Chains A and B, each alone.
Chain A
Amino acid sequence: MKLFPGGHLSRRKFLAGTGAVAAGLSLISRQAWCDETPKLNFYNWDTYIGETTLKDFKVASGINVKMDLFADNDELFAKLKVGNPGYDLIVPSSDYVERMILADMLMPLNDDMIPNRFNIQESFFDASFDPGRKYSLPYMWGTMGIGYRKSKMNSTPDSWKWLFDSDRYKGRCALLSEASDVLGAAFKYMGYSLNTKDPKIIKEAEKLLIKQKPNIKVFAPDNGQDLLLSGEVDITMEWNGDILQVMEEDPDISYIVPKEGSAVWEDALAIPKGAPHPENAHRFINFILEPSVGAKIADFIQYATPNKAAKQLMPESYSKNPAIYPSNETLSSCESSFYLGADVVRLYDEAWSRVLSA
């Protein structure tokens, strides 16, 4: 009997909290651009880098990487919006890259210092959130979908219906707890765009969720995979990488992108304004884009790499895994989420507050 099966029971959240405190306390010197000390302050998600990547980089370049962890994009954004506390490299998701560009929080990348950028698959350079990829380069990508326990399903849950419009799994299903994620999936189920701005449709989604609420056990703050693994729920809305981690431990768990389509996300590497060691950050980005380095990271964290050279080095169990690389047909039904402006964010939040207090 294990106390915390899986071991990563919200480790992300917990570690991020302690890391954030540590970062807040440490006084980081602000060095000039030219004579950089061999240091790099990396602000990353938990379990989101290769086991030896930081050590390998130290051997290759002599630069010491200090890594702090954040739990979600909101934490990253809230931390940096009052001024960069000394981070050189951050990993925001695409819609937050867009927000940060709008708020003038990112430093343009110097392409000459990142020759390995040509290892990235061409399609990633066509990014609407960062036209021409002036400020960011893709790190990993994936999808949002449904994680489920095969033995407890009547049929493969290939539709959002089972989470949003059915009492078949009453008391055994969980949804994510962020307004935009849940509303976005509800929009997809109802046949609208993930990035809906229309107040009428938002209201419609709110009604759908309020109607479905009695069947939902919990809105899980990014720990749906743990609930699934511990048997608390049998079907949950989650990010593919999180479910992949528990699929390794329990072969009865599987992942699917619903047929109505879903969100496809990308986490990007970017350098925040006020970074004390921007040159080192460029060197580290270039190092990560090295095929062998990228492959080692992908092998450890099991997310889809946008690095085509690294992907070629990976075994078929990774590069042909539909939970990591969905089919083109599935992908064509998916959308990435955009920053929709303060007014729509407020509409979402108010709808979500009403859902939670209904």
Chain B
Amino acid sequence: MMKQVGSHRLIFWLTFIPPTLWLLIFLLIPLSIIGSFSFSEKRGLIDIELSWILNNYIRAADLIYLSTLIKSIGVAGITTVICFLFGFPLALGIASAPPRWKSILLIAIILPFCVNLLIRTYALIAVFRTRGFFNFGLEWFADLINVPFEPLSLLYNDTAVILGLVYVHLPFMILPLYAGFEGFNKTLLEAALDLGASKLELLTSIIIPIITPSIISGCILVFIPALGSYLTPELLGGPNSQMIANVIERQFMNANDWPFGSALSMVLVYLTFGILALRYLCFNNLYLDKNKRRL
């Protein structure tokens, strides 16, 4: 009896310690360093002194940084909506494909993750630049139907940034939606059809309400990393495409102002926590609504 408790305890500690250490070393400690920098001031070129001042946050509320933040939220929002519009039918398609196809399609979704983001972004540049594959294809087609051809300028604007972000983040939308569709009791659909529901009603009153949690998860998984994206606007963006992460990078590098960069980073962290809190509240409300209906 005692022995059993002992081995339980051992298993408990073995499973408890690694993730705790992980969280401590790679999340809590770095985050508290950045957090304390954000209340500090610069002393000369290298030194940073923790003096518990709010100046960095006051500066972060300046119109330049606020407008950049709002723009970033807009870009991330549009990215999320487009990912949902493409991801929803794709996930539904995969979930209802024959089992043999299912795994092939899933691998096709996951496979790009094996290639580094930087390389995939450069591949996009090779495809969409003025003398890139996309324009070559158009030129070939224009020649075919004898229309004069002027190459399109596809890179270095906001559309290119959103396209790049959608390309990178689409799997984060598809996978939770797919999981939602998989766990779905398909007999519900048959029952609804038997009772005379139209295809549209099937979608709006059965499918979407049931997989709402998956939709919210997918949206959060796309929105949060898109909000903090740095590489895509840096490489695909034009003179107007600066996002908040690019401003933060400049504070740590060119401007050599780590305290201010930390304050801007913390603003993003607070936003992320805010979104997660919102999700928690939404879920609670959803369940409450259901319970009310049952009553």
Contact = CB atoms under 8 A, between A and B. Distances in A.
Contact of A356 (B122, B239, B251): B239
A345 B256 contact: yes
A230 B125 CA distance: 11
Contact of A78 (B131, B155, B252): B252
A218 B239 contact: yes
B161 to A, nearest CB: 12
Contacts of A25: none
A230 B129 contact: yes
Interface size class of B (residues with CB under 8 A): 35 or more
Nearest to B252: A78
B253 interface: yes
A353 interface: yes
Interface string A217-236: 11101000000001110000
Contacts of B130: 230-232
A353 B253 contact: no
Contacts of A179: 250, 254-255
Contacts of B42: 342
Interface stretch (B5-13, B60-68, B97-105, B214-222): B60-68
Please indicate which of the listed interface residues B156, B234, B237 has the most CB atoms of chain A within 10 Å of its own CB. B156
A16 to B, nearest CB: 12
Contacts of B257: 342, 345-346, 349
Nearest to A5: B131
A357 B256 contact: no
A219 B45 contact: no
Contacts of B254: 74, 178-180, 345, 349
Contact of A9 (B68, B122, B238, B255): B122
B65 A353 contact: yes
B153 interface: yes
A77 B257 CA distance: 12
Contacts of A352: 250
B267 interface: no
Contacts of B126: 3-4
A14 B125 CA distance: 15
Contacts of A14: 118
Interface string B249-269: 011111111000000000000
Given A14-B118, A216-B239, A346-B257, A230 B131 contact: yes
Considering the complex of A and B, which 8 residue pairs feature the smallest CB-CB distances, nearest first?
Answer: A74-B253, A349-B255, A103-B45, A356-B242, A218-B156, A231-B131, A81-B46, A353-B64
Interface of A: 1, 3-4, 9-10, 14, 17, 72, 74-75, 77-78, 81, 99, 102-103, 105, 171, 178-180, 213, 216-219, 221, 230-232, 342, 345-346, 348-350, 352-354, 356-357
Given A74-B253, A78-B256, 19 more contacts: A4-B126, A14-B118, A81-B46, A103-B44, A217-B153, A217-B239, A218-B155, A218-B237, A230-B130, A232-B131, A232-B156, A342-B42, A342-B256, A349-B250, A353-B64, A353-B65, A356-B239, A356-B240, A357-B67
22 contacts: A72-B253, A99-B45, A179-B255, A213-B239, A213-B240, A217-B238, A217-B239, A218-B238, A219-B239, A230-B129, A231-B131, A232-B130, A232-B156, A342-B42, A349-B250, A349-B251, A349-B255, A352-B250, A353-B247, A356-B68, A356-B246, A357-B240
